[in-house]
């Protein structure tokens, strides 16, 4: 099913990719000399070395993108964990972001290396960027799994070199290729999770989802308001389409 966690993730990551690509294009123009500071732009900008400044800005943008997308996939995981129809996911005590991700992929038995290790590497990279003393990293066994899948990854993710990706991670120097590929893996991971979540089978399941995403009280208020309207069904249809479109078909089938 398409869960209520899917659209916010896809929208946010899609905008991030667009912003990343726009900045990359703009910085390429700055570095080549094709772009210069407009006279009306009131900022102080006098780089001693335009090439170095452009590449530093590019690295900053790549690191920022890693942090943003990692936050989005962690927010997605948090919604999915504990959601209706997924079953009891075993979490360690005081789980961190990587623990939650690992527990979810274990529970759903997502075994393809790029789908479960790509997002995990992104999460670890986020931690290393945010926390300078962080030693977050894949385990030796996970590195081996990723390396063993290098041919598959190279074929699917436009010649991405796993060895270079891991080396860039260790050095803390992401490339546009690294970041774009990890984002693609993360999107594919989310799509796989969505395909494994069972569709709500009853009114109770539907309402459990609303409670899980803190929409049930608003739903009950909307029902009370709709009862006084000439067309209650139209009012409630509008409420669901606006606030939780992913559950509209389920609502129509089990509740309308």
User: 187-202 pLDDT, tens per residue?
Assistant: 999 999 999 998 888 9
Structure tokens given for 88: 């009891």
Check residue 87 and give its pLDDT: 87
Instruction: Using DSSP, state whether 46 is helix, strand or coil.
Output: coil
> What pLDDT shows up at residue 201?
87
pLDDT of residue 85: 83
Longest Cα–Cα distance in the chain: 69
Q: How far apart (Å, rounded) are the C-alpha atoms in residues 104 and 91?
A: 9
3-class SS at 92? coil
Q: What pLDDT score does 256 carry?
A: 73
Share in percent of the chain as helix, strand, coil (round to 5):
70, 0, 30
Question: Where are any strands of DSSP class E within 11-135?
Answer: none
What pLDDT is stored for residue 1 in this prediction?
A: 80
Return the closest-CA partner of residue 192 out of 112, 95, 96, 127: 112
CA angle 197/201/206 to nearest 5° reads 85
Structure tokens at 68: 């943003």
pTM over 0.85: yes
Distance CA(24)–CA(17), nearest Å, equals 10
- Rounded Cα gap, residues 207 and 228, in angstroms: 22
State residue 254's pLDDT score: 87
**Segment 31-81, tens digit of pLDDT:** 999 998 998 999 999 999 999 999 999 999 999 999 999 999 999 999 999
Q: Please tell me the predicted confidence (pLDDT) of residue 208.
A: 94
Q: Which residues of the chain have pLDDT under 50?
A: none
Beta-carbon contacts of residue 207 (< 8 Å; ≥ 6 apart): 216, 219
Number of residues assigned to the chain: 256
**Can you tell me the distance from the alpha carbon of 166 to that of 174, in angstroms, rounded to the nearest whole number?**
10
pLDDT at 78: 95
How high is the pLDDT of residue 206? 93
What angle do helix axes 113-130 and 140-148 make, rounded to 10 degrees? 130
Distance, CA of 159 to CA of 153 (rounded, Å) = 8
């Amino acid at each position: 099913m398409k869960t209520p966690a899917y659209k916010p993730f896809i929208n946010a990551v899609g905008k991030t990719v667009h912003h990343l690509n726009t900045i990359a294009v703009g910085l390429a123009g700055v570095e080549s000399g094709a772009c210069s500071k407009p006279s009306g732009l009131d900022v102080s900008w006098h780089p001693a070395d335009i090439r170095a400044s452009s590449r530093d800005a590019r690295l900053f943008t790549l690191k920022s993108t890693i942090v943003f997308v990692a936050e989005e996939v962690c927010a997605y995981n948090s919604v999915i964990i504990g959601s209706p129809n997924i079953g009891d996911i075993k979490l360690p005590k005081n789980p961190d972001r990587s623990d939650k991700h690992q527990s979810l992929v274990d529970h759903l038995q997502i075994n393809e290396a790029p789908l479960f290790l790509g997002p995990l590497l992104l999460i670890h990279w986020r931690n290393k960027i945010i926390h300078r003393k962080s030693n977050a990293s894949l385990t030796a066994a996970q590195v081996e799994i990723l390396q063993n899948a290098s041919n598959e990854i190279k074929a699917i993710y436009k010649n991405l070199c796993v060895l270079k990706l891991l080396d860039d991670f260790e050095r803390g120097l992401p490339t546009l290729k690294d970041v774009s590929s990890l984002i693609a893996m993360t999107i594919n991971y989310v799509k796989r999770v969505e395909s494994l979540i069972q569709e709500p089978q009853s009114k109770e399941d539907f309402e459990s989802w609303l409670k899980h995403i803190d929409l049930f009280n608003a739903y009950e208020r909307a029902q009370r308001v709709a009862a006084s309207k000439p067309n209650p069904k139209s009012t409630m249809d509008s409420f669901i389409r606006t606030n939780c479109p992913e559950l509209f078909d389920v609502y129509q089938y089990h509740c309308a």
